[in-house]
Each structure stands twice: as structure tokens, then as C-alpha cells.
Amino acid sequence: MSLVNLHQVHKYYGDNHVLKGIDLDIKAGEVVSIIGKSGSGKSTLLRCINGLEQYQEGGITVDGKEVTTEDIQVRRLALSVGMIFQNFNLFPHMTVGENVMLAPTIVLKKSKAEAETTARAMLEKVGLAEKFDSFPEKLSGGQQQRVAIARALAMSPKVLLCDEITSALDPELVGEVLKVLEQLAKEGITLVLVTHEMNFARDVGSRVVFMHQGKVWEQGDPKTILSNPQTDELKQFMGAVL
Amino acid sequence: MLYFSDLLQYSDVFLSGLKTTVELTVLTTILGVVLGTVCATVRQYGNRASQRVVSVYVELIRNTPFIVQLFFIFFGLPAIGVMLSPWEASMIALTINLGAYSTEIIRAGLASISKGQIEAAKVLGLNFRQTLTRVIFIPAFEKIYPALTSQCIIVMLGSAVISQISVQDLTYAANLVQSRNFRAFESYFVTALMYLGLSILLRFAFNALGKRLFAYRTSN
């Protein structure tokens, strides 16, 4: 049973044809890494999956429900699709705990006590239980990103979308975020990541999707595809990133 | 020679004028900022037609003298059947005036909030109203708080003009007293000091409120 399904998705920015007929099927528990050059449409694809971007043709379903940008749909979708951004986007005026508790209390209408229990558990999971009362600006980039992960997890999403979530981090902070992701993957959460971390894609991912010029150019098992790319474009890309 | 003691017998007049100015300032500051917040939100996030309406209001007020706005409301509106007391006309004129200026200031604050913040709220499932009140407003106000404070003080000082339609405010008191005892220097000097004191107090109040609202900037 597929959790996320894209069928012939086309997306245009004016005359710019960004996604040219994407077919993709993601099953529960998969860890899918989307790789490719900048401008290949990776992030746009991700943003279409949770309704942040509108697509013009084709269809996307998540957990059997169709994705549109209609506000109510986006909100209902938010319950099953979590998203983490490159720039963390924590709310600066709320403590770490308040950031994590916000959506469970006002969207899921959980009691404060219940939301706090969840929030503490999620922060524990990302190794930041002691930062509950700190404000985001006092944390390192890696810590902020881990809080963002906890905030997404607090809504118990079925699938977690990660949009280059280590790209804004100093190199020495990347590891701590990837470790959290690896842990989540082990627990069986479905992950779709746009990433440049080839080692992570190879060691943790269950599938690599290589995008080129708005199309899924090549995809398959990470170990096979990354060590033995079939298309020239992927060979070239691998040459550039390694 | 200066005779400040000649003002003492009029202390009641000054105090009652001061009271009127303070009351109007508190009321119009609150109403004006609320009006500005609503208009700024419409101008930043509303549909094109409502944006246009707000733009017309803002430009109309920002490009005409306050005293003309006040006279129009007080002397002009009765012609179409709207009779207002001097106090009511002043309250409305001051609120509308502050509303227009604060719209532009607050809109700058809203514009400073990154798209990422709004998207983060959206993917967490917050609706637009929740995003505004929980995610956008506080950081937006923090950015423009000094400018907003100054504007509120400017409007408070500008309220001296309402003495012209015989609202018995602080300036009215000063005019009255100096016309009775001809101690213009003393009367206006003391009045100026009172306005200065009010400005300082207002700034104080804003700072205290800001410390509470934007606690995240200073704490741990």
C-alpha cells in the first residue's frame, strides 16, 4: 500500500516547466533520498507533496487523500505530513517547549499537560530534553534543527519531508541531525529527504531518486544506484558531489 | 519677574486638562494601534480590493493636516447629520490619524516576517488567524516597536490641537489660565513640562509592555 503517490505531476512557474511528469510511489517505512543538481525540481517536488506549491497537472495523494493547496486541505494534510526546512523556521518568540507544544495544543486541541508530556518525550528523542525552556536563538544550528524535528514529530506525522535540512549547518553539526534521522528511520517512520548527504542516502536510505531537468531520471536501491549509475547525468552528478 | 505662584489657584484647571489629555491618549493609543494592526494585516495579506481601500484611507490621512481632519469631523460632518461632541470628534480624529500612520509602521513589521515562518505554521496545521496571532504578530511588533512608540507620542503631542474645538485638555487649560492672569510664560512653561512628563511616561509604559511582550530577547 503506497503512502505517497505522485502520478504524472506537472508544475509550471509561468513559462518555466519545473516538474515534467513525475511518477513516484512511496511506501510506508521507506526512506527516500531525492538527489540532483539545484534547479532540478527536488524541493518543488517536496513542496508539492504537502500542498505548499500548487501543481497544474497530474495527481498527488498522501495516505489515499488528494493533495491540493486549498487551505483546509493543507491543514488536514499537515496532520499526516510533517516538514522540516533548511532554515529551521523555529518561532523565535517561543521557548523550545512552546514551539513543540504549539500545534498539538491549538490544532489537535490537546490539553496543555498532554502536549507538554508529548513535547518532552519528543525533545528527549532528539536529545534536547534539557533545552525545554530555552529560546531558539540560544541554540546552535544543529540543536535548532533537532528541535524542528521534535516539533514535527509532536504531530505524529505518517511521513516526514526534509528539505535540505543539513545544508545550512556548519559541517561539524551535520552529524547530530543525521543521527536523529537515522534513529527515526530505524523506528520505521517514512522519510522523504531532499539531500546532498550521499553517505546518509547510501547507508540509511532505502531508495535514491535522482532528479534531472524536472524528471525522475534514475532511481533504485541506494547501494546499487550510487556505485553503479546507469545514466550519464547521474555519473556526472556523482562525479561532482564526491 | 516671573510669578509661577500665580498659577497655583488654577491647579484644578491644569489637573482637569491633564486628565482629559491622558484619558484621550490612553483610549486613542489603544484604538489607533488596533485599527492600524487590522489595516496593516489587510494591506499585507488581504485581497486586492481591500488592499486598495486601506491604501486610500492611509494616503488620505497621511497627506492632509490633522487640524483639517479634526475640523472636518467636528464642523463638517454635522452637514450630513452626524453631530459629535468635541470630545467624541477628537477621539475619532486622533484614532483615525494614529490608525493611518501605524498601519504603515506595522505593515513594515509584517513584511519583515520571513515566508518560512508562515510556511512552518502552515505545515503544522495552523490556520491563518492562528498563524497571525501566534506566530507573526509578536516578532513583527518587536521589529517596529520603537517606531510605533514614537508615533503614539507624536499623536499624543498633536492632540494639543483639539483645544481648538474647545475640548478642555491640557492646552485648553494653558490658554484659559494665561488669558485670565496674563502669565503666558509661566502657564505655557508649566504646560510644556507636563507634556514632557507625559511623553516620558508614555515611553516608560511602552518600554515596560515591550519588556513583557518581547521577553525572549533578554531572557536566558
Contact call for B125 and A155, based on CB within 8 A = yes
Residue contacts between A and B (CB atoms, under 8 Å): 74
- CATH says B4-217 is which class? mainly alpha
Q: pLDDT per position in chain A (242 positions), as tens?
A: 789 999 999 999 988 999 999 999 999 999 999 999 888 899 999 999 988 888 999 999 888 888 887 777 777 777 789 999 999 999 999 999 999 999 999 999 999 999 999 999 999 999 999 999 999 999 999 999 999 999 999 999 999 999 999 998 998 899 999 999 999 999 989 999 999 888 889 888 999 999 999 999 999 999 889 888 889 999 888 888 76
Query: Which of B119, B124, B216 would you mutate first to test chain A, the one with the most A CBs within 10 A?
Result: B124
Going by their DSSP bridges, the two strands A2-13 and A16-27 should be labelled as antiparallel
Closest CA to A157 of B51, B100, B17, B124: B124
Q: Provide the ipTM.
A: 0.91
**Which helix (H) or strand (E) covers residue A175, if one does?**
helix A171-186
Map out the domains of chain A with their CATH numbers. Answer: 2-89+158-241 (3.40.50.300)
pLDDT tens digit sequence for A199-226: 889 888 999 999 999 999 999 999 889 8
Helices of type H across A50-203: 71-80, 96-106, 112-125, 141-153, 171-186, 198-203
Q: In angstroms, rounded to a whole number, what is the distance separating the alpha carbons of residues B11 and B16? A: 9
Contact A75 B122 (CB under 8 A): yes
How far apart are alpha carbons B122 and B113 in whole angstroms? 14
Q: Which of A79, A90, A133 is closest, CB to CB, to B125?
A: A79
Look at chain B and count its residues: 220
pTM, two decimal places: 0.90
The pLDDT tens digits for B136-153 are 999 999 999 999 999 999
**Can you tell me the distance from the alpha carbon of A128 to that of A117, in angstroms, rounded to the nearest whole number?**
14
| Cβ contact B220–A135 (<8 Å) | yes
CB contact under 8 A, A135 and B219: yes
CA-based nearest residue in chain A for residue B136: A91
